[in-house]
Chain A
Amino acid sequence: MELEQPHAIDVIASGIHDIKNELFDALARIGAARQSIHADEPAAALPVLAETEVALSAAAERLSKLLSAYRLARHENPVAMVAVDVSDLVEDVLIRVGTTRRGIELASDVRCKDAWICDRELVADSLVNALQNALRHARSAVRIEADVVDAMLRFSIADDGPGFPTEMPAHADGTRSGVGLFIARRIAALHFRHGRKGHLAMSNGGALGGAIFTLDLP
């Protein structure tokens, strides 16, 4: 059984490493954009600046995740339980992830029509992360579902990609760091209601044949 505290440090350090790379990348692009403007070719600078924006945005998002991971590791973040409409939650997640992804079809099926009690922001964060990961690895299709199974609210995100490697994916969020997974595991565990705890599962197969990420909440 891994010890939580040291693991959190590794995860966070790894995340910081990725951010450092993203920032240097953004700096380089800004340099290139500046040169285009100097060379009297401002139009060439625009696409580069757009890429810079994406890189900085990714770095900011990752920093935000690291902060969450830090707080979760330090137990500073008791869950904030609110009544959440499951369809609204999935809609929010889809908006955050964005709909156009280089030819990948993103479908959703929310069968739970009622409200559920959970930490809206933390659950949305884990789903956004899992969905981004699925989109990164999918060939052509990703599907997000929400249903009540055995009195638990089950979110599943499936893709038609190569599936999770058999070696435990500590870095299932597609980068060197395992921040996303670390956070998702903690979030699941922090949901404790009516004597049951939330849990995370990763498997391969299903209807789309690729990876399946499942988050169950009591």
Chain B
Amino acid sequence: MLEADILASLFDDGQALDRRIPVNPYKELRYLVIEDQEASRKTLQMCIQSMGGSSIDLAASFNDAVNRIQRHMPDVIVCDYMLGSGRTGQQLLEDLRRSSRLPDTVAFLMVTAERTYEQVVSAVELAPDDYIIKPFSPETLRSRMERVIRKKIFFHAFHQLKVTGDFDAAIAELDALEGAEEGRQYRFDIFRARAETLLAAEAFQAAYDSYAAILEVHPFPWALAGQARALRQLTRYDEAEQAVDSVLAAAPNYFDAYDLKADICCDLGKFDEAQSILQQAAERTPRNWQRKRSLSTVAKLNGDFDTARKLIEEVIANDRVGGFPIGDRIALVRTALEGGDQALARKTLGELTAEEREALGPEEWLNLECLEARMEGGEAGSKRFDRVRAELRRANLPVDSALDAIRAALEFSDRQLADQMADELLTGSEARRAFHAMLEIYRRHDMEDHFRQLQRAAAARLLQKKH
């Protein structure tokens, strides 16, 4: 991948003055064309060649594209929206950017004959750098590509800062860019980038205000969604629900917004509704494995272990490109165990290789230990659980893992540990999501009253904190 200063020098006409041979900047870039139809692939290749591009990699499918990007990161991607087998370039873009496998510094241009794609771009939070409607001339491609690259150069420092997580510096960089002369043409992009960065930086009130300013200009669905996310984090759940409802009203095919709505419903303890919403969205986007994972989690929180298990099995069987196979396997062990299917749980555990076990993160390892201890049961299980008690006390586990730990603690009669972890969940941000599941766990051990006491105590402490 080319450095910004090299890119900038290639595109700065002034720099070429002292060279005898004119430099064609497009010659220096590395391209990836993603298109499932061979004839169209060749056309795109020729189009780029006519611009002077020579280093052009070709991918014929979604998976092929992912592999090539992983092997050698291109500078510019030109991707067709329709990629065959029900996959789209939009899904590819979202998967890659969200899993950090495609940096913001790499240009992504979508090409499509589908006019309906405009609606996608105008609604979603993750849009390509530009899109072009087919048929188009090489000159159009060149002019669009140049604009995208110039914008990348302009925002390069900001992207680098954002990637390192230095959000304060990233925002400061945006402020500086806004004041610059060239900043005028990128003003709107700067506003949008600022709002998104504030969200990432967890400055939720500031993010909310930023999105509000954008909404004054136009009620963009992605800006409403941004506000909904901010409101959710500010625990203003009812307002968040209203905001996400207006996103869905404006853009009913904006599926990510259904995920957000389901999350908000979980926050409000409306698990049935959450499951139903995600179910509808998953039916319409059957190859979106991340959505199916979310649906599986929600089904679990809703006590529907059968559905949860079926979904996670489907994901494991089909998602060749997803980033969290171990997480899926652990989820399957969990749902199998909760659904009473010891055989499946054992089988799944047995499939874990030694390398995979070596590669487990500390939280994953703890989670697995809790599950395995319960499966072993009796003396052996108790001994296994003993070994991790101390670490569990210190650990800061995600909800699913924490619930597994509580189950194990109660099973092995460590009420103190169970209560400690329950209390952490009850006073944390995931309280509403986890409440139903926790209640069920304690109920199974005939300790419902005890749990309710815990809940009241936690609520009282939270109230005191507020004052």
Interface membership of chain A positions 80-122, coded 1 if the CB is closer than 8 angstroms to chain B and 0 otherwise: 1111010110011001100000000000000001110101110
Find out whether the CB atom of B143 lies under 8 angstroms from the CB atom of A95.
yes
Find out whether the CB atom of B218 lies under 8 angstroms from the CB atom of A81.
yes
B217 on the interface (CB 8 Å rule)? yes
- The prevalent SS among residues of B at the interface is helix
Known interface pairs A95-B137, A115-B187, A121-B133; A80-B122 also in contact (CB < 8 Å): yes
Find out whether the CB atom of A115 lies under 8 angstroms from the CB atom of B143.
no
Enumerate the 3 nearest inter-chain pairs by beta-carbon distance, A residue then B residue, closest first. Answer: A80-B118, A80-B122, A83-B188
Known contacts A119-B122, A120-B118; 12 further A-B pairs (Cβ under 8 A):
A77-B115, A78-B119, A80-B121, A80-B123, A83-B189, A85-B185, A87-B185, A88-B147, A95-B140, A113-B184, A115-B188, A117-B217
Find out whether the CB atom of B185 lies under 8 angstroms from the CB atom of A82.
no
Determine how close the nearest CB of chain B comes to the CB of A179; give it in whole angstroms. 15
Chain A residue contacts of B140, Cβ below 8 A: 92, 95-96
Chain A residue contacts of B137, Cβ below 8 A: 95-96
Chain B 118-169 interface residues, beta-carbon cutoff 8 Å to A:
118-119, 121-123, 133, 135, 137, 139-140, 143-144, 147
Chain A residue contacts of B133, Cβ below 8 A: 121
Find out whether the CB atom of B143 lies under 8 angstroms from the CB atom of A60.
no
Chain B residue contacts of A81, Cβ below 8 A: 122, 218, 220
A197 on the interface (CB 8 Å rule)? no
Name 13 A/B residue pairs within 8 A (Cβ), A-sorted.
A68-B115, A80-B123, A81-B218, A83-B188, A83-B189, A87-B185, A91-B143, A92-B140, A92-B143, A95-B139, A114-B187, A115-B188, A193-B218
Known interface pairs A114-B187, A193-B218; A119-B135 also in contact (CB < 8 Å): no
Chain B residue contacts of A96, Cβ below 8 A: 137, 140
Point out which of B115, B184, B187, B217 has the most chain A C-beta atoms below 10 A from its C-beta: B115
Determine how close the nearest CB of chain B comes to the CB of A189; give it in whole angstroms. 18
Find out whether the CB atom of B118 lies under 8 angstroms from the CB atom of A60.
no
Point out which of B118, B133, B187 has the most chain A C-beta atoms below 10 A from its C-beta: B118
Find out whether the CB atom of A121 lies under 8 angstroms from the CB atom of B147.
no
Chain A 106-164 interface residues, beta-carbon cutoff 8 Å to B:
113-115, 117, 119-121
Chain A residue contacts of B115, Cβ below 8 A: 67-68, 71, 77, 121
Chain A residue contacts of B135, Cβ below 8 A: 60
Chain B residue contacts of A68, Cβ below 8 A: 115
CB contacts between A and B, total, < 8 Å: 48
Determine how close the nearest CB of chain A comes to the CB of B122; give it in whole angstroms. 4
Give the number of chain A interface residues (Cβ < 8 Å): 25
Once the chains are docked, how many angstroms separate the CA of A193 from the CA of B135? 31
Once the chains are docked, how many angstroms separate the CA of A1 from the CA of B133? 34
Chain B residue contacts of A83, Cβ below 8 A: 188-189
Determine how close the nearest CB of chain A comes to the CB of B225; give it in whole angstroms. 15
Find out whether the CB atom of A113 lies under 8 angstroms from the CB atom of B118.
no
Nearest-neighbor residue (CB-CB) of A120 within chain B: B118
Chain A residue contacts of B143, Cβ below 8 A: 91-92, 95
Once the chains are docked, how many angstroms separate the CA of A81 from the CA of B122? 6
Interface membership of chain B positions 187-219, coded 1 if the CB is closer than 8 angstroms to chain A and 0 otherwise: 111000000000000000000000000000110
Chain B residue contacts of A88, Cβ below 8 A: 147
Which one, B118, B187, B188, contacts A121 given CB within 8 A? B118
Chain B residue contacts of A91, Cβ below 8 A: 143
Determine how close the nearest CB of chain B comes to the CB of A89; give it in whole angstroms. 11
Find out whether the CB atom of B122 lies under 8 angstroms from the CB atom of A113.
no
Chain B residue contacts of A120, Cβ below 8 A: 118
Find out whether the CB atom of B121 lies under 8 angstroms from the CB atom of A82.
yes
Once the chains are docked, how many angstroms separate the CA of A88 from the CA of B123? 21
Chain B residue contacts of A193, Cβ below 8 A: 218
Chain B residue contacts of A85, Cβ below 8 A: 185
Chain B residue contacts of A117, Cβ below 8 A: 217-218
Once the chains are docked, how many angstroms separate the CA of A39 from the CA of B230? 74
Determine how close the nearest CB of chain B comes to the CB of A146; give it in whole angstroms. 14
Nearest-neighbor residue (CB-CB) of B218 within chain A: A117
Determine how close the nearest CB of chain A comes to the CB of B131; give it in whole angstroms. 9
Determine how close the nearest CB of chain B comes to the CB of A190; give it in whole angstroms. 13
Determine how close the nearest CB of chain A comes to the CB of B55; give it in whole angstroms. 25
Nearest-neighbor residue (CB-CB) of A85 within chain B: B185
Determine how close the nearest CB of chain B comes to the CB of A58; give it in whole angstroms. 12
Chain B residue contacts of A77, Cβ below 8 A: 115
Find out whether the CB atom of A80 lies under 8 angstroms from the CB atom of B188.
no
Once the chains are docked, how many angstroms separate the CA of A120 from the CA of B187? 18
Chain A residue contacts of B185, Cβ below 8 A: 85, 87, 113, 115
Interface membership of chain A positions 31-67, coded 1 if the CB is closer than 8 angstroms to chain B and 0 otherwise: 0000000000000000000000000000010000001
Determine how close the nearest CB of chain A comes to the CB of B227; give it in whole angstroms. 17
Chain B residue contacts of A92, Cβ below 8 A: 140, 143-144
Interface membership of chain B positions 337-352, coded 1 if the CB is closer than 8 angstroms to chain A and 0 otherwise: 0000000000000000
Chain A residue contacts of B147, Cβ below 8 A: 88
Nearest-neighbor residue (CB-CB) of A119 within chain B: B118
Determine how close the nearest CB of chain B comes to the CB of A201; give it in whole angstroms. 24
Once the chains are docked, how many angstroms separate the CA of A60 from the CA of B137? 14
Determine how close the nearest CB of chain A comes to the CB of B290; give it in whole angstroms. 25
Once the chains are docked, how many angstroms separate the CA of A121 from the CA of B118? 8
Determine how close the nearest CB of chain A comes to the CB of B118; give it in whole angstroms. 4
Nearest-neighbor residue (CB-CB) of B119 within chain A: A80
Nearest-neighbor residue (CB-CB) of B132 within chain A: A92
Nearest-neighbor residue (CB-CB) of A60 within chain B: B135
Once the chains are docked, how many angstroms separate the CA of A121 from the CA of B140? 13
Once the chains are docked, how many angstroms separate the CA of A108 from the CA of B185? 19
Known interface pairs A92-B140, A121-B115; A114-B184 also in contact (CB < 8 Å): yes
Once the chains are docked, how many angstroms separate the CA of A60 from the CA of B148? 28
Once the chains are docked, how many angstroms separate the CA of A132 from the CA of B188? 31
Once the chains are docked, how many angstroms separate the CA of A77 from the CA of B117? 11
Determine how close the nearest CB of chain A comes to the CB of B272; give it in whole angstroms. 31
Determine how close the nearest CB of chain A comes to the CB of B147; give it in whole angstroms. 6
Once the chains are docked, how many angstroms separate the CA of A60 from the CA of B133? 14
Chain A residue contacts of B188, Cβ below 8 A: 83, 115
Determine how close the nearest CB of chain B comes to the CB of A27; give it in whole angstroms. 21
Nearest-neighbor residue (CB-CB) of B216 within chain A: A194
